[in-house]
Amino acid sequence: MIELPETYVLAQQMKETLVGKTIEKAVANSHPHGFAWYWENPADYGAMLSGKKITGTAAYGGRPEIFAEDMRISFGDGVNVRYYAPTAKRPPKHQLLVEFDDDSALICTVQMLGGIWAFPDGLNDDFYYKVAKEKPSPLSEEFNEAYFDALFAEDTKPTMSAKAFLATKQRIPGLGNGALQDILFNARVHPKRKLESIGDDAREALFKSVKSTLAAMRDNGGRDTEKDFFGQQGGHRTILSKNTIASPCLVCGGVLTRQSFLGGNIYFCGVCQPL
């Protein structure tokens, strides 16, 4: 699933690969997916995008975006966005195909669920999209300790868990259940720990971990549980994920635990992250 680190990686790779190319053809929803969402009518994507030149990209929360002159193409977290060189074999089924003037292509497929939005700049009023654009990225200077502390006082309860605080209600767009695991481990905070038990020191550790962990994931090319624009696995080795659950804790050598919590799996070390 695309989260904030992968958003930055994808946006940079798309910028380096696509800027200057012109869209010759665009086809959306040729293979309907029950949980693929589009901006208005996907049948109109061809007319809206054909002839447009790629002029730039951006990273908003967990949504990489392509600028095609006055049009925008934005991708949600459940979308596989891949680049295919002119001679590369393409998948027969997809939810979006964009062909360029050099015969290369961008192809999107949706996993469990995800959004593919092509729209005129300024017309997408989707709540999650607007929040992702408006709120400061954890990788920006605007996301400072004072801002983070203020999040504790906004729409939170003392009994709220650390996971719920960091990864729900779009408090920090792009920070999802995947990146969350290493952030909490690096801060030595259990995913189920209540906010009322998190004092100044633990809150500061959380803030620093949000900044440093996400930056490391971005700088290393995304997490090793995800793939980039070229279908390559990310270079950042996750500490807690499906890839490491059978291994001992890197710090204490103890057993790692996986549990279901708040609609998804959590991973933790009971020694390093006591509840």
Domains of the chain, by residue range, sit at 4-134, 145-269
User: What is the pLDDT at residue 112?
Assistant: 86
Beta pairing class for 264-269 and 54-60: unpaired
Q: How far apart are CA 53 and CA 30, in angstroms?
A: 23
Q: DSSP alpha helices (H): ranges in 62-170? A: 127-134, 145-153, 162-167
User: What is the pLDDT at residue 19?
Assistant: 98
User: What is the pLDDT at residue 155?
Assistant: 74
Amino acid, res. 47: A
Beta pairing class for 36-38 and 63-68: unpaired
Per residue of the chain (275 residues), give pLDDT as tens. Answer: 899 999 999 999 999 999 999 999 999 999 999 999 999 999 999 999 999 999 999 999 889 999 999 999 999 989 999 999 999 999 999 999 999 999 999 999 998 899 999 999 999 988 889 999 999 999 999 999 999 999 988 878 999 999 999 999 999 999 999 999 999 999 999 999 999 999 999 999 999 999 999 999 999 999 999 999 999 999 999 999 999 999 999 999 999 999 999 999 999 999 999 99
Check residue 91 and report its DSSP letter: P
- 18: nearest Cα among 78, 77, 69: 69
Q: DSSP alpha helices (H): ranges in the chain? A: 4-18, 45-49, 127-134, 145-153, 162-167, 177-187, 200-219
Check residue 197 and report its DSSP letter: G
* CATH architecture, range 145-269: Orthogonal Bundle (1.10)
CATH fourth-level superfamily of 4-134: MutM-like, N-terminal (3.20.190.10)
- 251: nearest Cα among 203, 186, 191: 186
Structure tokens at 198: 């998190």
User: pTM of this prediction?
Assistant: 0.95
Check residue 258 and report its DSSP letter: E
